[in-house]
């Protein structure tokens, strides 16, 4: 279909006009709220990673202490 056929179609013209006239208002408060939510999510991820590392380190330390205790008992 040619462009001239598209331009004569009233439905096509209606949608083109509506798409050109569409405007979304900018509100800085919305952006600030979004920024706060993203900061909170980032902080939660960091906290979760720290807790996982601390749990892993604790498990490693407990395992090493248990191994050292078992090794000392077998030597006596």
Name the pTM for this structure.
0.53
Q: For 24-52, how does the pLDDT look when each residue is reduced to its tens digit (9 = 90+)?
A: 788 899 999 999 999 999 999 999 999 99
Q: Is the pLDDT of residue 58 over 80?
A: yes
| DSSP assignment string, the chain | --HHHHHH-HHHHHHHHHHHH--PPP-HHHHHHHHHHHHHHHHHHHHHHHHHHHHHHHHHHHHHHHHHHHHHHHH-
Give the pLDDT confidence of 6-28 residue by residue, as tens digits: 567 888 888 888 888 777 788 89
């Amino acid at each position: 279909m040619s462009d001239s056929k598209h331009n004569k179609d009233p439905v096509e013209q209606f949608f083109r006009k509506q798409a050109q006239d569409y405007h979304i208002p900018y509100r800085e408060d919305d952006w600030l709220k979004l920024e706060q939510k993203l900061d909170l999510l980032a902080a939660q991820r960091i906290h979760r990673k720290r807790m996982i590392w601390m749990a892993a380190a604790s498990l490693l330390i407990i395992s090493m202490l248990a191994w050292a205790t078992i090794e000392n008992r077998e030597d006596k």
